[in-house]
């Protein structure tokens, strides 16, 4: 259970590998799908715990200016998330799920 968002992120090509590696550190430690191999502009290759368009086939974006990724990130709970959980009913839904599917 979680929140779903979509973002368009624009980076200078020299920063792409570093940013993707940083995002990979926030991914859940265990995944049910195989990692995604990406070839970046300049030939750098990364293996990431994400999918691209919900598939894990290797992606060559060495000649492209865009990359579409699907990812789950684990973030620390902050005050805004706590408030959202209490006021939206999200916390009650989570408690119900945990009670019925231990």
Q: What is the pTM of this model?
A: 0.70
pLDDT digit string (tens) for 48-94? 999 999 999 999 998 988 899 998 888 787 888 778 777 887 777 77
Angle between helices 79-88 and 90-100 (to 10 degrees): 80
Question: Measured between alpha carbons, how far is 23 from 27 in angstroms, rounded to an integer?
Answer: 7
pLDDT band for position 3 (cuts 50, 70, 90): low
Question: Measured between alpha carbons, how far is 91 from 70 in angstroms, rounded to an integer?
Answer: 25
Nearest to 33 by CA among 20, 18, 48: 48
pLDDT digit string (tens) for 14-50? 899 999 999 999 998 888 889 999 999 889 999 999 9
pLDDT value of residue 55: 94
Total length of the chain: 102
Nearest to 11 by CA among 2, 25, 1, 21: 21
pLDDT value of residue 85: 77
């Amino acid at each position: 259970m979680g929140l779903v968002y979509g973002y368009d992120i624009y980076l200078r090509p020299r920063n792409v590998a570093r940013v993707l590696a940083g995002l990979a550190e926030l991914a859940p430690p265990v995944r049910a799908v195989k990692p995604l191999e990406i070839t970046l502009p300049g030939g750098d290759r990364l293996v990431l715990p994400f999918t691209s368009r919900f598939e894990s086939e290797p992606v060559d974006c060495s000649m492209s200016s865009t990359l579409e990724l699907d990812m789950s990130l684990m973030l620390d709970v902050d005050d805004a998330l706590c408030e959202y959980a209490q006021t939206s009913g999200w916390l009650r839904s989570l408690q119900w799920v945990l009670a019925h599917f231990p």
